[in-house]
Structure 1
Amino acid sequence: MVASAEPSHDCPLCPRLHDFIAGWREREPHWFNGPVPAFLPKGSVRGDEDSVRLLIVGLAPGLRGANRTGRPFTGDYAGDLLYSTLIAHGFARGRFEARPDDSLELIDTAIVNAVRCVPPENKPTGAEISTCRGFLVPTIARFPNLRAILTLGGIAHQSTVRALGLRVAAYPFKHAGSYDVGRLQLFSSYHCSRYNTNTGVLTEEMFIKVFADIAEFLGK
């Protein structure tokens, strides 16, 4: 288990992902092309970490989304839905323009992926998920006032449950799920991917309802 919450830009722990990113560095040298760091409230001083009450855990960076831009959910459709919903419920402010230098700022919220590096075909292996959990555990621990975690999709949910030292069978993934896990409340939602919304697995109304529940829980 690694001690740091953030991997190095050239993290070698998952050879397949490391090699995949190396290939894209040659093809697109101006892209971020590395493990995508957690997106925190403006700045990275300790005070901002103290303000975080909600942690959102996604699956992994998209190739032309976060892998290109270096910020979770930035550059693809999933970010359009996620950030508009965050703004509507008081978890973010500013304007999301799908680039890391836009005016978007998170409020009391942090966003991270269960797997920090973009996987081929958006499919990380079990070993890669397990390895990257070594960064998820200290990420959760870095926020002393954290009260709620939202997992987006089954893989993110299962990895988060394991990162909390809990049994997956006792906390199964379900959309609009909510579990009391001690000092935290664990919420879950289908991932806000274009595939899920196009197929009707997730509607905008379903997604908004999850955030309404979280806002009510946090008293926002």
Structure 2
Amino acid sequence: MAINPLFPYPLYLVISEQDCYPQSWLHVAEEAILGGVDIIQLREKNETDTGFLEKAKKLKQITDRYGIPLIINDAVHIAIEIEAWGVHVGQNDRQPLEIREKYGQRLQIGWSLEDRAQLDSKQMAAVDHLGVSPIFPTKTKTDTITTWGINGLCEIRNLTEKPLIAIGGMNLDTSASAWLSGADSIAVVSAICRSKNPRERSAQLKELLT
């Protein structure tokens, strides 16, 4: 499958300090980039606002060094403050149209697709890419409505031209099938963050997508 020019980032790392423990999460991020990760999202669900901002600044120094886009999960104000590439929001966060109206084109906007009805939402006009979540059940994200599976991903691919990021249970065994079923990017958490060699694991995953 060809790289989508609208979202030319096939290997997408979602990272948090907790998901990398006991390894240094910043070390994991840099090693993952060296292994082939194309884009990184910082997701810190249990961090204070001040703590999230400090982590975002530290990660941005690394992503800027390597020319890697950085996405901030939920916290639009932090994404704006550090001049992140984008923000990713869910159904219960600030809505895409509100973000676009306030900040224009300063942020790429990703939106979590939790049910098919969202594809008919007026919010889609402000969405740059969709996170199809989860493809498979995963311990790193439990507050979800639909487990899509590969068949669900195929169905969504036929219903929208928006870039699709597959997330949830993505690893060496599942990533290729999601990629071949129409995902434009594979978002990985544990498969890289829990790896003893995140650079090597990232390279292995990237090889499946190229």
| TM superposition score normalised by structure 2 | 0.37
